[in-house]
A and B are shown apart, each in its own frame.
Chain A
Amino acid sequence: MDGQWHGLNGSRLQSMVEGHTARSFDGALSSLHVHVIEIGGLVLDQVREASRAYTEWDAQCAEGVIEREPAVNAYDARLGEEQLTLIARRQPVASDLKAVIAMSRAVAELERIGDHARNLARHLLSIRTAGTHPAAG
């Protein structure tokens, strides 16, 4: 989890997921919230590592990004399930529904960003075998 990113809107998100009369609803929404932050942190790492692989011309680093990509996809799938279950069981409305939908859209984007990080890493590996570092050239 990335501290800065979490700190951006942490307290507001907190108030969004808490305060329900049924406390288990708070729990389900917070759990969803935490998992979104986790996938966010993971994707952020992937992007950092992919750019580091580029700047440092580091094949091992690029391979690491490619290896971790399935974990991002697994998170995405798990969050999809979690969101469906929450909607089916709790029928959220108004701000709760918006929070769930927003998280769902954020996760879809994060998954896509994760794909791009992997593509960067793959690209690095292919140009690295084909030639030399563009900056070094």
Chain B
Amino acid sequence: MPEPRRADVSAAGGSTSGKHASESGLDLKPSGRVHVPSSLEEALPTEGSVGNAFVDDPVFSCRDVSVFYGEKEAVRKVTLDIGRRQVLAAIGPSGCGKSTFLRCLNRMNDTIPGARVTGTVTLDGQDIYEKRRDVAQLRARIGMVFQKPNPFPKSIYENVAYGPRIHRLTRSRADLDELVCTSLQRAGLWNEVKDRLHTLATGMSGGQQQRLCIARTLAVQPEVILMDEPCSALDPIATAHIEDLIDDLRASLAIVIVTHSMQQAARVSQRTAYFHMGRLIEVGDTDDVFTNPQHRLTEDYITGRFG
């Protein structure tokens, strides 16, 4: 989306709301047949979001988190808690900043030249952007699963054993065998692969590969798993397997899932966060967001009224 110019916004919003709207940094001009609610200028929070961004005893606490790619502010002042043993779904149109926000949580944005993060992100009360923070150690606590399954071109066993080996989590071969086995079991893959642990992982189906990637993440015993559209490349059956798995994993860890599928967000999450043009617009219980969205932008997005 292009950055709005003050003149554009003032022209669209009228003299009374122009100032407010330009502060909000949103392009509010109705274009084509895209539905833009008339009360948008007034409704859009300049700071913060509607709903409840906070939880008791959060695993992650984000306060005023902004991400800049060079001059461009991709995420603007997001304040959000992520609870333990629950699934938070991040939804919103393409380019709304939901993936960028997700990548703040395990410092993946560090790898992007020109990316800069401001605000604070704490994991169990510790600032993850602290200067002396060991990022490799941090990422062991925060697993990540990507859109496209990315197993190493090694055996199924080696894929799962890789993390525990480099982080020296096991003391013996027997320990490692057991960890590989439990990780594959937790990922719901054991019965399908127990007889071919030493065959190439790249020969598995897409859905199996994705569950293998989850098993590989589980093997280093993370506290949180970040999922960036984990089912976009999968068929409905494989998707149902992953969603079922997400529901099981919720018993022991927190999951943040970015998804383009609102139905998926509605099915798997306990809390839903709606992002729009880099802002967190609304966050709340999934039950409420999909029945009684408080913000007009959320309502319009989930009912398919713009995008």
In the complex, number of A-B residue pairs with CB atoms less than 8 Å apart:
34
Chain A contact surface mostly:
loop
Q: Are B292 and A94 in contact (CB under 8 A)?
A: yes
Q: Does B2 lie at the interface of the complex (its beta carbon under 8 Å from any beta carbon of A)?
A: no
- Contacting residues, chain B, for A71 (C-beta < 8 A): none
Interface pairs A-B: 9 shortest CB-CB: A19-B35, A19-B305, A96-B303, A20-B304, A93-B290, A93-B302, A94-B303, A21-B304, A94-B299
Q: Does A92 lie at the interface of the complex (its beta carbon under 8 Å from any beta carbon of B)?
A: yes
A35 shortest CB reach to chain B, Å: 21
B96 shortest CB reach to chain A, Å: 16
Q: Are A21 and B305 in contact (CB under 8 A)?
A: yes
Q: Does A91 lie at the interface of the complex (its beta carbon under 8 Å from any beta carbon of B)?
A: yes
CA distance A74 to B127 in the complex (A): 65
Chain B contact residues (Cβ within 8 angstroms of A): what range?
Answer: 10 to 19
A116 shortest CB reach to chain B, Å: 33
Q: Does B92 lie at the interface of the complex (its beta carbon under 8 Å from any beta carbon of A)?
A: no
> Which chain A residues have a beta carbon within 8 Å of chain B's beta carbons?
18-22, 25, 91-98
CA distance A27 to B305 in the complex (A): 13
B261 shortest CB reach to chain A, Å: 11
Chain B positions 262 through 305: 1 when the CB is less than 8 Å from some CB of chain A, otherwise 0: 11001000000000000000000000001111000001101111
Which of A18, A21, A91, A92 touches B306 (beta carbons < 8 Å)? Answer: A21
Most buried by A among B34, B292, B302: B302
Residue of B nearest to A23 (CB): B33
Q: Are A94 and B304 in contact (CB under 8 A)?
A: no
A44 shortest CB reach to chain B, Å: 30
Q: Are B291 and A94 in contact (CB under 8 A)?
A: yes
Q: Are B305 and A93 in contact (CB under 8 A)?
A: no
Q: Does B70 lie at the interface of the complex (its beta carbon under 8 Å from any beta carbon of A)?
A: no
Q: Does B307 lie at the interface of the complex (its beta carbon under 8 Å from any beta carbon of A)?
A: yes
- Contacting residues, chain B, for A92 (C-beta < 8 A): 303
- Contacting residues, chain A, for B291 (C-beta < 8 A): 93-94, 97-98
- Of the A-B pairs whose beta carbons lie under 8 Å apart in the complex, a sample of 27, sorted by A's number, is A18-B35, A19-B300, A19-B305, A20-B303, A20-B304, A20-B305, A21-B34, A21-B304, A21-B305, A21-B306, A22-B304, A25-B304, A91-B263, A92-B303, A93-B262, A93-B266, A93-B290, A93-B302, A93-B303, A94-B291, A94-B299, A94-B302, A94-B303, A95-B299, A96-B303, A97-B291, A98-B291
CA distance A18 to B306 in the complex (A): 11
CA distance A91 to B299 in the complex (A): 14
Q: Are B305 and A94 in contact (CB under 8 A)?
A: no
CA distance A19 to B306 in the complex (A): 8
Chain B positions 142 through 170: 1 when the CB is less than 8 Å from some CB of chain A, otherwise 0: 00000000000000000000000000000
Q: Are A95 and B303 in contact (CB under 8 A)?
A: yes
7 extra A-B contacts, CB within 8 A, seeds A22-B304, A94-B293: A19-B35, A20-B304, A91-B263, A93-B290, A93-B303, A94-B292, A94-B303
